[in-house]
Structure 1
Amino acid sequence: MPLTRALVALLVLAAASAALADEPAFQPARIVSRFEAPQEPAGGAGPASLQRANLQNSDPGLHMWSEFFWPVKPEAGKKQKTTIWVINRRDKVIPAGTIVSIWANKTEQPKCGETGDVNYKLPELLPLQTKAIKASWKMPETTGKAKVAIFLDSACTVFNEFYWFNTVIWSTTVVEAGTKYAFLQASKGPDWIESYDFEPKFPPGNSTSKANIRVFNLGTAPTEAGVKMGVYYDLSAIPDNVTSDCTYPGQISVDLPKIAPGKTKVVPVEGIKVPNRNDANYLALYVYMDVTCKLSPAPNPGYFSSGARISSGPGAVLASLQPKGQRYYPVKTTPKTPKANETMTVKVKIANLGDADGVVGRVVIFTTAVDATDAVHYDIGRCDPSLPSLYNGLTFSANTTDLVIKAGKSKTVKITDVPVPATAGWFGLVAVPDADCINEVERSLHWLPVPYNAFEVVAP
C-alpha cells in the first residue's frame, strides 16, 4: 500500500446546520489539494513506496490549497477573499509567470488561455517552494446563485493542456449588499503545515491536554459575546442530531470572545482527555459552533480543527520546524549546488519539540526524488537500527553527535562528506535526527515527521 495518494485538488464543503443545509450560501468552502495522505505503514511498504514510478507522469506537480472563502455569503457587488497557497512539487524550477485566474461567476469550464476576472502571476518557484496569494474577486451585482472558479496555470505554461484537478468550481449564493450576519468556523492551515496546536505538543496517553483552536468569523457582522463552541474528543460521544438540537454543549463547552468579520481568534480549550495509547495513536478533535443557537436556528459543524500524536510520556522529541508558510524544512547544502558524484556538507536545523532536554544522536541523511520526500518524511523507519541500509539505492550519509538540545530550543547540525547523486538535476534531501531514538519517547510517536528540502546537483 503506497504511502502517498494523488488525491488531487478538490473542494471541501463543510456541511452547515440541518436548518441551513439546503442553503448554498451557508456552505463554507476552501480548496484542499491533498497530494499526499499519511496512512498506517504496511509491512515492507517503505522501500516500495520510494521505488514507485515518478508521480509527475500523471500529475503536473503544481498544487494549491486555500483558507476558507470569506464571506461565506458574498454580497452583491462586494468582494470575496481568501489566501491561496501554490506549491511546486516537481523536480524542475517553474519559471515566473504562471497565472492563477479567478472568475466570480463562470458558467462553463474554463479553457487554457482564458483571462479571469482577476489574474495573479506567480514568481519563479523552486522545487518544494510555496507562494501565498492574497486573492479577492468582485461578486456579481445581482443576487442569486453564482459559480466561482479558480484555475491554476490558466495559461497552461507548466503543462500545455487543461487538467481537471487544477481547476475548482463551486456554487455559492450572492445576497444583497449590506446583509449582516455572523458565521463561525474552526480553521487550520493546509495539511502540510505541522501546526502543533496542543500543549504539550505530543500529549501522553491517559492524560489531559490543552488545544488552541483557531476560530474564523466568515460573516459580515461581529459575533455576540457568549456564543458557545462545543468540542468533542471522542467521536462516539457526538449525538446523531448534534446539528439540529441546541441542547448539546459538547464534551467541553467554551465561551467564545467577540470576533470581528473576516477575523480569527485563537481559543484555548482545556481539559481534553487523551486516549490510552493502546487504543489510539492520534487524538482528533471535532468542533461544533454556536451550540446554543445564538447566531442561527441550529448549530453548525466547525471544520475538524486539529489533531495530535499521542506519546508514551514526557521527553525529548528531535524533529524540525517549517519556515512560515513553506512546505519544506530548514535543510541546506554546502556548496549550494554541489557537483555530481562528489561530496557535500548538509546543515539541518533540528528543534527539540518535547518537554525535556534531548541528545541529537545519530543523524542520517538521504537524497531521493523530490516527489518522494513525503514518503520518506512519514515512512523513514525511524528508530530502526538498520537505517540507512533499509533503503537500498538511496544516497545516504550518517554521523553521530553528542550535542544536547534543550526543550523548546533548536540548533543547526552539520553533517560532512555526504555523497552527492551521480546525475545532475533536482533531488529531495531528508535528514533523520536521533535515528536510533536515544530519546525513548520518540519510539511511541506515530508518523513522526522528519525535516526535508530540495537541492540542485550540477554536472562536474
Structure 2
Amino acid sequence: MAVLLLLLLAVLAAAPAQAFPPFANPLSWYSSYFDPYRPMPGDKMSFIIWVQNISPERTEAGTVAVWANKPEDAKCGEKGDKEFKVPPLDPLQSVAVKAFVKVPDAVGTYTVRTFVDSGCTIFANSSLEPTGFDNAGNQRDRTYSVVDAKEAVVGQPRSPPLDMPRGGPYVEGSVRTPDLEPALPLFGQPFKAFVKVANWGTAPLEPGVQIAVWPAAAAGFVPSCGAAGAVIATLPKKLGPGKETVVEVPGLVTSEGDNNLVVLVDANCSLSSDVGRSGRVAAFQYEAAADDTFDFIPLPPAAYLFTGKVKISPKSPPVNGTMKIKAKFTNAGTVDQAPGRVAIWLRPLGPDTLYGYSDGDWCDFKNTAAIVTLDAPVIKAGKSKMLTIDAAPVPDEEGTFVVSLVAAGPVADCGKLAGLTPQPVYAAAAAAAAAKPAGR
C-alpha cells in the first residue's frame, strides 16, 4: 500500500452535526483468547477486552461484567462474578480492559459470559447479543473446558486495535498482523514474516513446534495438517505457560495477484489435530509491488513504528478557521522520497468514515478539503518523520469530523502506485466541544 492514511478526529464546535440513531450501539469491542485456553479446576482465566467508542459523542463510564459459567443471558445491572471499569471514551478512543475470572472447581464444560456496559449506562440495548458479527449489543458467551491434566496449547495472539489492518471492528483472521521485511515485498523476491506465537496452555511448549506460512495462498485457502506449499519454521526455544515470542520465517516469495498470507501453527498437528481451533490459523492480505517504489503508510514493522502520533491544534478548532496538523509519516517502501502531495479530507464521523476516507486515485484525488505539497524532508526507506501542516482548513459545520491524510509523492510519479491501495489506520484524539466565537 503506497499511501499514508492517517486518521484523526477533531471536534469542531459546540454541538454534533451528525448523531448516530438513538438505537445504534456506540461501542465496538473484541477480546484476546482465553489464557489458559483450557484451565484446570479453580484456575484464573485471563483475557484482554478492547473497547472502542465508534460514535461521534463522548460516552459515559461503564462496567464490564464476567461470569465463569452463565449459559443464560444477563440482564442490565446484573452483577458478574468479576467486574471491571470502562472509563468515559472520546470518539474513536479505545481502552484495554484486563479481565479475569476464577473457573469452576470441577472438570467439565462451561459457558463464560462477557457483558460490556453491563449496567447499560452507555447504551440502553447493551444486553442484546450480536448475531454473527453485527453490533446489536454488548453481551457475548463462549463455551470452554476445565480439564484435570496440564497441557501446552499453541496459538497466534490477537492484536490490539492500533495493530489491526483497519483498526476494527474485530473480524476473525484479520486481527493478527505479522510484520514483514521488507514491509512492501516485491513480486518474485524473497521476504520474511515475523509471526507471534503464544502458549495458552498450563504446561511448557517445547522447541520444535512447526509454524507453516503460505505466502501466496489462493483466496479461500484452508490449511490442513501437513498441507503442501508452505514454508516451515520451528519454535526455537521452550515457551512457558502464558508466554509469547516472535518466530522469524524467511524465504517467502509472493506473486502478482496472490497476496494472501496464511499461517498455521502446530502445522504437523503434533499437539492437536483440531486445525479449526481458535488461534491455529491466521490469514490476511498484504501489499506487494512489481518494482522498487516509495510507500507512505501507517506501518507496524519490527520496530513498531505505528503512526499513532497525530495531533491537531487547537484541540477544538473554530468552524471555517484553520488548524495545525502534526503527523508521523512512514516510508515503508524501498526508495527514499519526500511525502510530496498530501491530500486532506474532512468528513463527519459516521459508520462509513470510522477508519478514514479517501476519494479518487493517486493521479486525481477528488472531493478534498485541501492538497498541500511537502517537498521536504526526504524520508528514507523504512524510516519515519513527524511533519507539520500549518494551516489546514476546518469544515464549515459544527460537529465531530474525521481528518484523513494521504501522502502520495510527486504527481509525476503517481503511476508508480498503481495497484496499491490504502490501508487505513488511525490515531484518535479526545473529542471536546469547541467554544463559540465571541459575539455569538
TM-score, reference length from structure 1? 0.76
- Equivalent in the alignment of 1:180: 150
Q: Secondary structure at the match of 2:360?
A: coil
Deviation at 1:241, TM superposition (A): 8.8
Q: Do structure 1's residue 295 and structure 2's residue 268 form an aligned pair? A: no
Q: Give, in whole Å, the separation in 2 of the partners of 1:237 and 1:317.
A: 25
Q: Partner amino acid for 1:157?
A: T
Supply the distance in 2 between the matched residues of 1:333 and 1:236 (Cα, whole angstroms).
42
Give the secondary structure class of the aligned counterpart of 2:245: strand
Q: 1:168 aligns with which of 133, 140, 146?
A: 140
* 1:398 pairs with 2:346: no
Q: Which residue is 2:231 aligned to?
A: 252
Letter of the structure 1 residue corresponding to residue 153 of structure 2: F
CA shift for structure 1 position 317: 1.2
Deviating more after overlay: 397-406 vs 150-159: 397-406
Instruction: Give 2:118's aligned amino acid.
Output: S
Report deviation, 1:181: 0.7
The 1:451/1:439 distance shift into structure 2, 3 A limit, reads farther
Bigger mean CA offset, 180-189 vs 367-376: 367-376
* Aligned residue in 2 for 1:310: 288
Q: 1:144 to 1:452 in 2, by over 3 A?
A: closer
User: Secondary structure of the residue that 1:371 maps to in structure 2?
Assistant: coil
User: What's the CA shift string for 1:141-178, capped at 9, x where partnerless?
Assistant: 122111101111111111123332311101111123xx
How big is each residue's C-alpha offset from its partner over 1:71-106, in whole Å with a ceiling of 9 and x where there is no partner? 1112211111111111111101113x3111111101
CA positional deviation for 1:284: 1.7
Matched residue, 1:75: 40
Preserved contact between residue 320 and residue 395 of structure 2 (Cα < 8 Å) = yes
Q: What corresponds to 2:105 in structure 1?
A: 141
Structure 1 partner of 2:193: 211
* 2:135 match: none
Aligned to 1:10: none
Seen in structure 2, the aligned counterparts of structure 1 residues 111 and 275 have a Cα distance that, compared at 3 Å, is same
Find the partner of 2:263 among 280, 286, 305. 286
After TM superposition, the structure 1 stretch with the greater mean CA deviation from structure 2, 334-343 or 437-446, is: 437-446
Q: How far apart, in 2, do the equivalents of 1:434 and 1:198 lie?
A: 21
**Partner residue in 2 for 1:444:** 419
Q: Is the 8 A contact 2:307 2:328 kept in 1?
A: no
Structure 1 distance, partners of 2:304, 2:78, is 29
By how many angstroms is 1:135 displaced? 1.3
Establish whether residue 226 from structure 1 lines up as the match of residue 201 from structure 2.
no
Q: Which residue is equivalent to 2:184?
A: 202
SS at match of 2:282: coil
- Does the Cα contact within 8 Å between 1:322 and 1:329 map onto a contact in 2? no
Q: Distance in 2 between matches of 1:405 and 1:170?
A: 47
SS of 2:101 mapped into structure 1: strand
Check conservation: 2:33, 2:158, Cα contact below 8 A: no
- How is 1:315-326 mapped onto 2 (pairs within 5 angstroms)? 315-321=293-299
Distance in 1 of aligned mates of 2:48 and 2:304: 11
The 1-side partners of 2:272 and 2:189 are apart by: 35
Mapped to 2, the partners of 1:327 and 1:367 lie a distance apart of 22
Per the TM alignment, residue 426 of structure 1 is displaced from its structure 2 partner at its CA by 2.0
Tell me the SS of whatever aligns to 1:164.
Answer: coil
Q: For residue 159 of structure 2, what is the aligned residue in structure 1?
A: 189
- 1:312-336 per-residue CA deviation (whole Å, 9 max, x = no partner) reads 2222212235899999833222211
Aligned to 2:255: 275
Structure 1 partner of 2:391: 417
CA contact (8 A) 2:26 2:55 kept: yes
| Equivalent position amino acid for 1:268 in 2 | E
Quote the Cα distance in structure 2 between the aligned partners of 1:207 and 1:337: 47
2:168 aligns to what?
Answer: none
Distance 2:334 2:213 in 1: 26
Structure with greater proportional helix content: 1
Offset of residue 116 of structure 1: 0.9
Deviation at 1:413, TM superposition (A): 2.2
Q: Give the letter aligned to residue 49 of structure 2.
A: I
TM-score, normalisation: structure 2 = 0.79
Judge conservation of contact 2:210–2:234 (CA < 8 Å) in 1: yes
Amino acid at match of 2:255: P
Correspondence 1:62 to 2:27: yes
Contact 2:307 2:329 (C-alpha < 8 Å) held by counterparts: no
Counterpart amino acid of 1:366? W
| Contact 2:313/2:323, CA 8 A, preserved across alignment | yes
Matches of 2:184 and 2:343 in 1, distance apart? 23
Given that 2:180 and 2:194 are in contact with CA atoms closer than 8 Å, whether structure 1 keeps it comes out as: yes
**Distance (whole Å) between structure 1 residues aligned to residue 304 and residue 118 of structure 2:** 23
- In 1, the alpha carbon distance for the partners of 2:156 and 2:391 equals 47
CA contact (8 A) 1:98 1:121 kept: yes
Amino acid at match of 2:250: E
Which one of the candidate residues 79, 91, 107 is aligned to 2:56?
Answer: 91
Partner of residue 336, structure 2: 357
| Unaligned segments of structure 2, at least 5 residues | 1-17, 131-137, 166-176
CA change 1:81–1:412 in 2 (3 A) is same
Query: Is 2:242 the counterpart of 1:262?
Result: yes
Instruction: Tell me: CA distance 1:69–1:312, structure 2 relative to 1, closer, same or farther (3 Å).
Output: same
CA distance in 2, matches of 1:170, 1:66: 12
> Structure with the greater relative contact order (CA < 8 A, sep ≥ 6): 1 or 2?
2
Change in 2 beyond 3 A, CA 1:82/1:441: farther
Q: Which amino acid aligns with 2:264?
A: V
User: Secondary structure of 2:350's match?
Assistant: helix
* Match 2:116 to one of 127, 148, 152: 152
Whole-angstrom CA distance in 2 between matches of 1:140 and 1:376: 40
Counterpart in the other structure of 1:19: none
8 Å Cα contact 1:128/1:328 also seen in 2? no
How far did 1:445 drift?
A: 1.6
